[in-house]
Amino acid sequence: MIVAIDGPAGSGKSTVASTLASRLGFHYLDTGAMYRALTWIARRDGTDLADGPALAALAVAHPLSFGLDGHLEMDGEDVTAPIRDAEIDRLVPTVAGHPEVREVMRQRQRALAVAGDSVIEGRDIGTVVAPDAEVKVFLLADESERARRRTQDRPGVPAETLAADLRSRDERDAVNTRPAEDAVLLDTTVLSVDDVVERIAELVERVR
Ligand code: DC
């Protein structure tokens, strides 16, 4: 079974999706991490972020490895922390915006999804990557709450900078971030992680 969890930055996807996956005993796939890791290696290697075909070739040559302990590795380096950097936040929409890059990533995501029951989080999972997912959820939250969550995730970066970055990222990611017609919309603004996980677990139980 596939549980697709999509939504904008700060909507609570990662925490909810990983908590749900461990509760259900499902695989957890963070597709945003794949775009982030590609951005990280492109910067390291000096690849032009405007060059879609070059970035797609880089993605083919350097798949992100998902460790069982939750650690992420690329090209032999532990990138778990560096890919959450505020600078990667700013650059990743450019990389994720190239159709050539999305094609490589989507193929890989589909290949990973057939490995078994999975919770997959991203932006286009319910619409493009796994349109047949048994459960589709699109998470929403007020902009001020999403900005507040970002401040907690990125200590040391001024709140105004993070709020401005979030707005800019929302605009640039918008084209690939939309709910599937059959997705359940869940506003997480005033819900706890446990509440959101509980609601999605109920949706899973209904189709099991
Ligand atoms: O969810 P996130 O912030 O980790 O996503 C990082 C970036 O990757 C963000 O700019 C949106 C993009 N992304 C995407 O375009 N499609 C996905 N399935 C997942 C993430």
166 shares a domain with 188: yes
pLDDT per residue as tens digits for the range 80-92: 999 999 899 999 9
Alpha helices (H) in 46-191, listed in sequence order? 52-61, 86-96, 99-113, 143-153, 159-173
Indicate whether residue 122 lines ligand 1 (CB < 6 A).
yes
The count of structural domains within the chain is 2
Distance of CA 101 to the CA centre of its chain: 15
3-state helix, strand, coil in the chain (%, to 5): 55, 15, 30
Indicate whether residue 12 lines ligand 1 (CB < 6 A).
no
Distance CA 58, CA 55 (A): 5
- Ligand 1 centroid–CA 77 distance in Å is 21
196 shares a domain with 134: yes
Per mean pLDDT, which of 63-72, 122-131, 151-160 is the most reliable? 122-131
Distance CA 65, CA 72 (A): 6
127 shares a domain with 95: no
201 shares a domain with 161: yes
pLDDT per residue as tens digits for the range 182-202: 999 999 999 999 999 999 999
Indicate whether residue 31 lines ligand 1 (CB < 6 A).
yes
9 within 8 A of 146, measured Cβ to Cβ: yes
203 within 8 A of 22, measured Cβ to Cβ: no
For residue 48, what is the domain's CATH number? Answer: 3.40.50.300
Q: Which of 51, 83, 115 represents a domain boundary (last residue)?
A: 115
**Mean pLDDT for the chain?**
94
36 within 8 A of 28, measured Cβ to Cβ: no
Indicate whether residue 123 lines ligand 1 (CB < 6 A).
yes
Task: Kindly give the number of the ligand 1 atom that is closest to the alpha carbon of 31.
Answer: 19
147 within 8 A of 166, measured Cβ to Cβ: yes
Residue 74 belongs to domain spanning: 27-115
- Ligand 1 centroid–CA 87 distance in Å is 14
151 shares a domain with 76: no
Provide the pLDDT confidence category of residue 122 given band limits of 50, 70 and 90.
Answer: very high
Provide the pLDDT confidence category of residue 42 given band limits of 50, 70 and 90.
Answer: very high
112 within 8 A of 69, measured Cβ to Cβ: no
Rounded to two decimals, the pTM is 0.95
Indicate whether residue 92 lines ligand 1 (CB < 6 A).
yes
22 shares a domain with 125: yes
Residue 127 is classified by DSSP as I
